[in-house]
Amino acid sequence: MRETTPALAGSSAGHKPGSIGAAVSPPRARHRVLLLAGACVTALSHAAPQFDTLIRNGRIMDGTGSPWYAADIGVRDGRIVAIGRAIDGTARTTIDAKGLLVTPGFIDMLGQSELTILVEPHLPSKIFQGITTEVTGEGVSVAPLGRDPQVHGAAGAAYRLR
């Protein structure tokens, strides 16, 4: 997250303040192909929006302990591709986050949803807390880790869920 602070985004060569922020990370080869494909689609259809989602007017709290700052966030192909003030661009979906905190999804370092997720794959108990990543399967796992399927396999999971 550090490379996306406004100071760095603003200091990025070739970007004037208020333009789209610095690219967050160098795209991998696969990603580059996707971008190329995206560019072709854009060339064919002028209406193709620049972002899938644009979060406007939010208070960004980046999780480093720094105070919040006002900025927009542009999301495309699953990634944060721009952070900056008053990002100029079109988006499929725009979220007005005025007065709201915009934070990284929370990480549950030991959540133990490994059985729950079989019953409720959307895991509402976690996402409604803002948890987007969970370390799970510690101690007990539904994966067949051992030789005894009654303990470690699906039968073990079914037993525990009874």
Partner 1 sequence: MWADIDIFDPEEIRDTATFDSPNQLAVGMRYVLVNGVPVIAEGKATNALPGQVLRGPGANPRTSR
β-bridge partners, 133:
107
**Cα Rg, the chain, nearest whole Å:** 21
- Phi then psi for 7, rounded to 5 degrees? -60, -45
By CB under 8 A, tell whether 42 contacts partner 1: no
Which single residue is written with the structure tokens 């895991």? 123
Instruction: Provide the 3-class DSSP secondary structure of residue 125.
Output: helix
Q: DSSP readout, 10-42?
A: HHSTT--TTS----SSPPPHHHHHHHHHHHHHH
Residue 30 beta carbon to partner 1: minimum distance, rounded to whole angstroms: 14
Q: Interacting stretch for partner 1, rule CB under 8 A, among 27-35, 40-48, 126-134, 151-159?
A: 126-134
Interacting residue with partner 1 among 19, 97, 111, 114 (CB under 8 A): 97
By CB under 8 A, tell whether 1 contacts partner 1: yes
19 vs 81, beta carbon nearer partner 1: 81
Spacing of C-alpha 128 from chain mean position: 15
Residue 88 beta carbon to partner 1: minimum distance, rounded to whole angstroms: 19
Binding-site ranges for partner 1 (CB under 8 A): 1, 4, 24-25, 52-53, 55, 58, 73, 75-80, 93, 95, 97, 99-106, 121-122, 124-125, 127-130, 132-133
